[in-house]
């Protein structure tokens, strides 16, 4: 790159993606400034959980964070996929994993936001190569002058993306998403559920100690109405939706509704300006791809910058290589999640037949389950690894 070592990077956005990227770059010897308008307490306080796949496990392990998260990582060893319209189901187990993933007997893990952010912010605060600027709106930086790279990790409404005049394609779904945490009675141990219903997918993700995260997709107005219901009214709504055998014991937080989008920045970089995470893309939450997709951005950028030759590359060259590498994965995951939602929210007789054949074949043939799980855990381009 054009400046002398140590190389300097500005990152806007200290959420899970921006903080993880900042830590990874500091580990590589970069001087990092991490900015966010939220204070530490606000960054930590968010009530939500993430489904992590093996691609995220490998990244956290490479950065020395996996073991530190320890008991906060809740494994699920079966994934129960159900088509409620057809009353059909497919159950995935660790036997359906491919390659080296089979050495770790879990399909995925659920991780709560708080312990993740506590660990990341603690490591960043104590790292000599990281300067935290939290609690004030970050100014949009450019690579000229003090920085070799300027990176936006500030979410789908990224002000940096707009300031840098990078194009952004976005389509809003008619569906929204309702998320909240509950405690259930007598759940199946270490099982995650993905239910396909006409109004949208419905996921139940284990958080340990009989606590679960509910991710409920439905028309946005329905989500907002349900978020405003009393606990007793919401209980009635949930009664016919929860997987068979699961009973609600208590609500653990306040339901929150938000709109869903399919979006993509066709240019993830311009010069030394880069978009990482949801500042550059967003997809439907079906299959829990969101954070894993963002962290594959992080993994790819760290891979490029770890190479000794990267020190001789300009910010523009780094940006071009990063964008060229990431766009195929982002496009395929966006299309795949969109197709799943449209296919399983449709009652067209031909599509119902296609769904029945697909689920039946997947249940009978292990190779189909293995291919499907490989795409979910490592991305649709996993075969290139």
Query: Each residue of 234-280: pLDDT tens digit?
Result: 999 998 899 988 999 999 999 999 999 999 999 999 989 999 999 99
Q: What percent of the chain has pLDDT over 90?
A: 81
Give the pLDDT band (50/70/90) at residue 26: very high
Q: Which pLDDT value is given to residue 2?
A: 41
CA–CA gap between residue 175 and residue 263 (Å, rounded): 15
Output the six-digit token pair for 29.
């010897």
CB atoms under 10 Å from CB of 215, counted, come to 22
Q: Which pLDDT value is given to residue 5?
A: 52
- In the predicted structure, residue 118 carries a pLDDT above the cut 60: yes
CA–CA gap between residue 107 and residue 95 (Å, rounded): 9
Q: Which has more pLDDT, 137 or 353?
A: 353
Instruction: State mean pLDDT over 189-217.
Output: 93
CA–CA gap between residue 108 and residue 131 (Å, rounded): 33
- Radius of gyration of the chain measured on its C-alpha atoms: 21
- In the predicted structure, residue 136 carries a pLDDT above the cut 90: no
**CA-based nearest residue to 123, from 74, 63, 73, 72:** 63
Q: Which pLDDT value is given to residue 133?
A: 95
CA–CA gap between residue 246 and residue 239 (Å, rounded): 9
**CA-based nearest residue to 345, from 171, 173, 89:** 173
Q: What is the pTM of this model?
A: 0.93
- In the predicted structure, residue 318 carries a pLDDT above the cut 80: yes
Give the pLDDT band (50/70/90) at residue 143: low
CA–CA gap between residue 218 and residue 103 (Å, rounded): 37
Domains and CATH numbers, the chain: 8-50+113-170+262-384 (3.50.50.60)
């Amino acid at each position: 790159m054009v400046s002398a070592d140590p190389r300097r990077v500005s990152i806007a956005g200290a959420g899970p993606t921006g903080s993880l990227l900042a830590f990874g770059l500091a580990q590589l010897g970069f001087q990092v400034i991490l900015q966010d308008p939220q204070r530490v307490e606000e960054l930590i306080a968010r009530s939500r959980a993430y489904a992590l796949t093996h691609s995220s496990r490998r990244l956290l392990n490479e950065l020395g964070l996996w073991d530190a998260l320890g008991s906060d990582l809740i494994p699920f060893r079966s994934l129960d996929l159900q088509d409620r319209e057809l009353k059909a189901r497919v159950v995935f187990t660790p036997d359906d994993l491919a390659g080296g993933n089979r050495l770790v007997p879990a399909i995925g893990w659920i991780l709560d936001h708080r312990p993740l952010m506590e660990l990341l912010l603690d490591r960043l605060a104590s790292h000599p190569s990281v300067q935290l600027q939290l609690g004030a709106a970050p100014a949009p930086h450019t690579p000229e002058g003090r920085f070799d790279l300027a990176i936006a990790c500030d979410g789908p409404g990224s002000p940096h993306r707009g300031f840098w005049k990078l194009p952004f394609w976005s389509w809003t779904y008619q569906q929204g998403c309702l998320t909240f945490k509950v405690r259930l009675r007598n759940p199946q141990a270490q099982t995650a559920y993905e239910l396909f219903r006409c109004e949208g997918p419905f996921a139940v993700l284990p958080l340990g100690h009989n606590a679960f995260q509910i991710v409920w997709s439905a028309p946005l107005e329905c989500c907002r109405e349900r978020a405003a219901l009393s606990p007793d009214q919401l209980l009635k709504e949930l009664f016919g939706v929860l997987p068979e055998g699961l009973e609600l014991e208590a609500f653990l937080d306040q339901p929150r509704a938000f709109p869903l989008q399919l979006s993509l920045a066709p240019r993830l970089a311009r010069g030394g300006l880069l978009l990482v995470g949801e500042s550059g893309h967003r997809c439907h939450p079906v299959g829990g791809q969101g954070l894993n997709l963002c962290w594959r951005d992080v993994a790819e950028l760290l891979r490029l910058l770890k190479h000794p030759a990267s020190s001789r590359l300009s910010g523009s060259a780094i940006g071009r290589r990063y964008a060229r590498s990431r766009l195929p994965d982002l496009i395929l995951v966006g299309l795949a999640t969109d197709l799943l939602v449209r296919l399983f929210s449709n009652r067209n007789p031909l599509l119902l037949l296609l769904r029945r054949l697909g689920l039946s074949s997947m249940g009978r043939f292990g190779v189909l389950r293995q291919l499907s799980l490989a795409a979910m855990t490592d991305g649709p381009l996993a075969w290139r690894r």
